[in-house]
Amino acid sequence: MLARIVGQKLNERWGQAVVVDNRPGAGGNIGADLVAKSAPDGYTLMLGGVPHAISMTLYKKLPYDLARDMIAAAPIATFPSMIVVHPAIAAHNVQELLALGKGKPGALNYGSPGNGSPNHLAIELLCTLGGMRMQHIPYKSAGQVASELLGGQVQLASMGLPTAMPHVKAGKMRALAVTSASRSPMLPDLPTVAESGLPGFDVTSWYGIFAPRATPKPAVSRLHAEVVAIVTSADVSQRLASLGAEPYTPTLDEFARHVREEIAKWGKVVQESGARVD
């Protein structure tokens, strides 16, 4: 969806077709490897993000390295999530959830859209920082997680705002906190996990455009400037907000540093969680 939004705007600004070529498989790594090995001429790019940073440790063997073989060229958007529980769970905030989890180690279970997904590792980080243990139940999609949580088959989850908010408003899920470092404009009264007693907790999904490492700097700089102008425009900002996202506009150096930091951060969480893919 992000690729289509930005691609259409680049088409309008450049007068040149921008084709979105979906290459699913291996958590996005098939498409990433294709781009990493493409000609560095600025014509073949990748929309990537936090899943690719996680993959650097999650997968035992990868044919590419996100930080070494790619340039973090054009940031696009960030997506916070929220910690939600089934209404039957006796926790109305993060501290009560931690107390519940510590009191009965392993008794609570949580769902995620798959091993190594940002939502999976968000809860693993919560467990690590909060000193508790829970059972992980992986599913194939966020929709399945929501359905199982609504039915009480799982007790909690980290879930994207667009997926969770209708159920929270209907009283079918209870929101405990947002996972980002700052509160979401969509839920200004909902505290962050960090505010709720776990300082330093910050899980925000981010996405941007990557290019093969040897892509000329002028091409990368122009792409960065164009995409920043696009995502900060009124209509695109509004479209992102409807998806529960916010424009993400660091400089090229800041974006590259953030990618390296995310690879290191999630590497530790992956190792502690034991979530590995052969």
Question: Has residue 193 been placed in a domain?
Answer: no
Q: Do residue 32 and residue 53 come from a single domain? A: yes
State which residues form the domain around 113: 80-178
User: What band does 244 get if pLDDT is binned at 50, 70 and 90?
Assistant: confident
Q: Do residue 167 and residue 108 come from a single domain? A: yes
Cβ–Cβ under 8 Å, residues 63 and 26: no
Question: Has residue 149 been placed in a domain?
Answer: yes
Question: Has residue 198 been placed in a domain?
Answer: no
Q: Is the pTM of this model over 0.85?
A: yes
Among residues 131, 161, 178, which one ends one of the domains? 178
pLDDT in tens, 101-140: 999 888 999 999 988 889 999 999 999 999 999 999 999 8
Residue 137 or residue 243, greater confidence: 137
User: What band does 278 get if pLDDT is binned at 50, 70 and 90?
Assistant: low
How high is the pLDDT of residue 116? 87
How high is the pLDDT of residue 75? 97
Residue 264 has pLDDT above 80, yes or no: yes
Contacts for 185-191: CB closer than 8 Å, 24+ residues apart:
185/241, 185/246, 186/161, 186/241, 186/244, 187/82, 187/161, 190/82, 191/93, 191/94
Q: Do residue 251 and residue 222 come from a single domain? A: yes
How high is the pLDDT of residue 153? 95
What are residue 206's DSSP bridge partners? Answer: 78
